[in-house]
Structure 1
Amino acid sequence: MCEEEVKLLGAWGSPFSWRVEVALKMKGVEYEYIDEDLMNRPKSSLLLEYNPIYKKVPVLIHDGKPIAESLVILEYIDETWNDRTALLLPQDPCDRAVARFWAKFMDDKCAPALWRSCRREGTERENAIEEACALLNVLEAELRDKQKRFFGGDTIGFVDIAGNFIGYWIGVIQEVAGVRLLTPDKFPLLCKWCYDFQNFPIVKENLPPREQLFAFFKARLEKKRKTFSPAA
């Protein structure tokens, strides 16, 4: 039997690309990583070939077949390598649907508002901070209701991995932008979740170094403050 071929088109510093990497590592799947320069224009021929519609990373290539969009890829990984010990999504259909809801909420609502709070200035920043705080309060309430260490329960799962932008990246980006939004006095449970998330063994072993990530985003926010956004 031939060994399966798994490749990942990703980008250093991208929280969306990192999601896929850590999921593959949790499953114990061997893969080849191919880095895409987010600032490269034009896009690489490989990226255009495998994701011609969105032209974004990450893209998982499994035996020559491409799968795009990080949340879609996470579900694909969970379903394809479902014989492994680590399960990303709950097995109960209702719980799976709820997990998808919260992951989408983080991507569609929380992440854009947090980005705006760091990239905008003046009144626009104030409005973005107000919006972001309201959304983070929703997540704070969800953790309070669950009374669990992670959104996935006692260990990290689909929602926690989907929340990695909040769990690690936004702290660095806020420091670059000089914004203090996600603080223990305002969001004690969410900040504790961030700490537990960052110190979960497989997460801790694979997070990009904070100093390098700081320099990465500082250079980009300074160059293109109002137009840069990460790959999705």
Structure 2
Amino acid sequence: MFCSSPECKGQDSVTQPTGDFIAAEGDTVTLACTFQTSDPNTYLFWYKQEVNDSPKYILQRYSGGGDNAAEFQKNRFDATLNKTSVPLTIQKLQLSDSAVYYCALFPGLIAGDTISPVKEEVSGREGESVTLTCTYQTSYSADLYWYKYHSDLQAPQFILFKGARGSRAEYIPDKRYKSQTSYTSTELTIQSLTLADTALYYCDSSFSLTFLDDDDCSITVISKASISLNVNRPQQEEELHN
């Protein structure tokens, strides 16, 4: 659910101020992000999105610590998790830092609307295609998202979103992925499988990222489900390796 009015509130939400932040090369800036959550173990993430690109994971913070992505070193990108805020500080600004920055909650609230996998584990062979399916129930025209999750040391990687309940809205930056949705299900098809596709995949209804809205925005996480995908080598290659 995307909300840009003061009246729009959710039990779990993130809020960022509107407007552009202008600074000079070499300066230090701090980007604000406040949140509300009922979950004491919530993870907070920061993402960077450049023009015509999907969000890139910068860092995560939680009550026990956090980590940064390799290309966003802590000596330049850092955040401190407070009770209701997680401001991002960027030091020694570079021209390449010009982008839109988003903070996000994960995994967030599990509410009345539901989403669940048809199969919790799926296997495929390198070079082939595989389809992952989730069924959902929702009372409004939500957006459905797919994410790839390698390990607890990395944030979920955005794959695509597609409108639910017959909506034609979609954003699929990598054309190796395809998606179909109906009024009760969402499918993710991965073509030309590689061993690197082995991961946990999340199907989400209205996740907390705000990359489709430029306004000040509070967003409620409705629900999520996960599917484990294991990619194997073709049988002939397996025999050669054995």
User: What is the TM-score of this pair, normalised by structure 1?
Assistant: 0.28
Which structure ranks higher in relative contact order (CA pairs < 8 Å, sequence separation ≥ 6)?
Answer: 2
Relative to the length of structure 2, the TM-score reads: 0.27
Query: Which structure: greater strand fraction?
Result: 2
Q: Give the structure with higher Rg (CA).
A: 2
